């Protein structure tokens, strides 16, 4: 019988009961174009041990993976945050209980979210970045506020004047002024 299935990227939907009862099926790889997995699509595929699901998937129908008692690993093309946004119908415990191997989100940008509490200094006061917040943006439409772990530079600080503080976190840089 059928032991492995690889759907091409051109396929958008795995229809209802498409592979229902394929008892010898052990591996499923869905192409990057799949957005919907229909009801009972892989129901009763007791030997399926591993499934690869693209990040394009938005809906997994009820009982799509019911009866997949051997399902141990779900290779997912997106991040955990994206996985959690998929509408997964009831009766998919084998899928949701399997080990999720996600693709971590990639940072795509940084913005200075909040300048430090103190921006004005007198003579020899030390630079204090308390209150500084950076917003890191990721390709899975999430963001994280960073308040520590960044590096900074400020040339010639201490003499009267306005100075540029450059803040770096990972591969991203932003600047603000202090006096």
Q: Is the pLDDT of residue 154 over 90?
A: no
**pLDDT at res. 158:** 64
- Three-state DSSP at 169 gives strand
**pLDDT at res. 9:** 96
Residue 74: both structure tokens together:
């779900």
Q: How confident is the model over 126-140, as a mean pLDDT?
A: 93
Whole-prediction pTM: 0.76
Sheet holding 151-153, edge to edge: 151-153, 163-169, 172-178
């Amino acid at each position: 019988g059928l032991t492995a299935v690889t759907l091409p990227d051109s396929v958008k939907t795995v229809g209802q009961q498409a592979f229902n009862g394929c008892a010898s099926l052990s591996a499923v790889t869905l192409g990057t174009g799949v957005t919907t997995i229909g009801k009972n699509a892989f129901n009763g595929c007791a030997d399926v041990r591993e499934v690869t699901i693209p990040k394009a998937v938005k809906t997994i129908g009820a009982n799509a993976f019911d009866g997949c008692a051997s399902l141990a690993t779900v290779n997912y093309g997106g991040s955990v945050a994206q996985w959690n946004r998929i509408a997964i119908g009831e009766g998919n415990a084998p899928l949701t209980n399997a080990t999720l191997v996600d693709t971590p989100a990639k940072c795509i940008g940084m913005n200075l979210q909040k300048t430090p509490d103190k921006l004005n200094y007198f003579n020899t006061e030390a630079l204090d970045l308390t209150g500084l917040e950076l917003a890191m943006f990721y390709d899975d439409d999430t963001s994280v506020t960073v308040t520590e772990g960044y590096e900074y530079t400020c040339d010639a600080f201490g003499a009267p004047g306005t100075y540029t503080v450059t803040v770096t976190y990972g591969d991203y840089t932003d600047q603000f002024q202090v006096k």
